Amino acid sequence: MDRTDPHHRHRPARGRLAPSPTGGLHLGHARTFLAAWLAARASGGSLLIRIEDLDASRTRGEAKAGCLIDLSWLGLDWDEGPDIGGPSAPYVQSERLATYADALERLKERECVYPCTCTRADIARAASAPHLEDEGPVYPGTCASRSAADAESLGDRPFAWRFRVPAEPIGWDDLVIGPTSIDLSRAGGDFIVARSSGPFAYQLAVVVDDAAMGVTQVIRGDDLVASTPRQILLFEAFGLPRPEFGHVPLVFGADGRRLAKRDGSIKLGTLRESGLDPRRLIGWLAKSWGLAEEVIPSTPGDWVSRFSLARLSREPWTVSAEAWQELLGPGVIGPPQAG
Ligand code: GLU
């Protein structure tokens, strides 16, 4: 693969920003969304915003509007989304349940899924995208001998629909990491796409939506790498073309841990209210991506002509005390302690 021009396969790209409204967006989201936005815009393409709010237990109502406010404040824009509509509306997952139900029916007809009555924590967690710490052990296949029709004999017993994974590696040419392959039969095993009592799982919803919305390029954090083979299997099961995937490195706090939403100091809302100039933040993020040597106050659009995925720094980025001061100015005590 020619990594010097990663856009050559899809030009212009149709990208998406898919925030989960589970708390305010933070610096790590801003950095990833800036890369996703630039990747689409630098290809001459378009972007949509989709709110991923299937996990009702974690979704906070005010955070839905907050995501859009945070992203606008950064200077990012979009061509379709919950606030402006578009041909693939609605752009909020909780309003798309009928589409997911149809998709699940197709998986049942094709015997791609079986009803699983194992009570495991991952069944409860399936509505959210599984970030690194959420990946559990391999499902042992306890219920795999069931067919889809066996669900009828389960009566009121709650169950989950599990997708059968093949015992072979699933590969893709990652736009950022390069050729990658994961054997799901050794990493998680058969995975959940829905629960009998709802909700639908992130893996099912994200594939149905990316296909329905015509997304051709998915740029997201590398904690979601293990979701990609699952999503590729679902695209194949539906007979739909898959987007290209690129996974960018995450941001870590000075304590070496991934930035987390619960640390208020790194939330975009907190930074906005503190009076921080978003142009300074964009310049700081651009520098963190290796796009500049210095913090140059700027808008996302200022970086479009200089951007390519191949130029992005491949290293996880740590917000050191110096970096934090570079953003906020001297006299600020300490970098964010993530956790
Ligand atoms: N909504 C997911 C999250 O915030 C992102 C999913 C994706 O980009 O595929 O973790």
Name the residue of 220, 242, 244 to mutate for ligand 1: max ligand atoms within 8 A of Cβ. 220
Domains along the sequence of the chain with CATH? 1-93+249-339 (3.40.50.620), 96-205 (3.90.800.10)
Residues taking part in catalysis: 261
CA 221 to centroid of ligand 1, rounded, Å? 8
Name the residue of 52, 59, 209, 231 to mutate for ligand 1: max ligand atoms within 8 A of Cβ. 52
Amino acid 324: pLDDT: 87
From atom 10 of ligand 1, which residue's Cα is the shortest distance away?
129
CA 313 to centroid of ligand 1, rounded, Å? 21
Residue 11 to residues 235, 242, 302, Cα–Cα distance (Å): 21, 15, 20
Residues in the ligand 1 pocket, defined by CB under 6 Å: 18-20, 52, 129, 206, 220, 224
CA 30 to centroid of ligand 1, rounded, Å? 13
Task: Please give the radius of gyration of the chain, using alpha carbons only, rounded to the nearest integer.
Answer: 20
Q: Which atom of ligand 1 is nearest to the CA of 22?
A: 4
Instruction: Give the separation between CA 283 and CA 6, rounded to whole angstroms.
Output: 23
Q: Which atom of ligand 1 is nearest to the CA of 129?
A: 10
Amino acid 314: pLDDT: 87
Q: Which atom of ligand 1 is nearest to the CA of 52?
A: 1
Amino acid 130: pLDDT: 79
Q: What are phi and psi of 175, to 5 degrees?
A: -65, -20
CA 121 to centroid of ligand 1, rounded, Å? 20
Amino acid 120: pLDDT: 61
CA 68 to centroid of ligand 1, rounded, Å? 15
pLDDT along the chain (339 residues), means of 10: 44 95 91 98 97 87 89 98 98 97 98 89 70 77 96 92 97 96 94 90 98 98 96 98 96 82 79 94 96 96 95 88 84 54
Following DSSP, what letter does each residue of 143-170 receive, concatenated?
A: TTT--GGGGGGGTT---EEEEPPPSSEE
| Model pTM score | 0.92
Instruction: Give the separation between CA 41 and CA 306, rounded to whole angstroms.
Output: 11
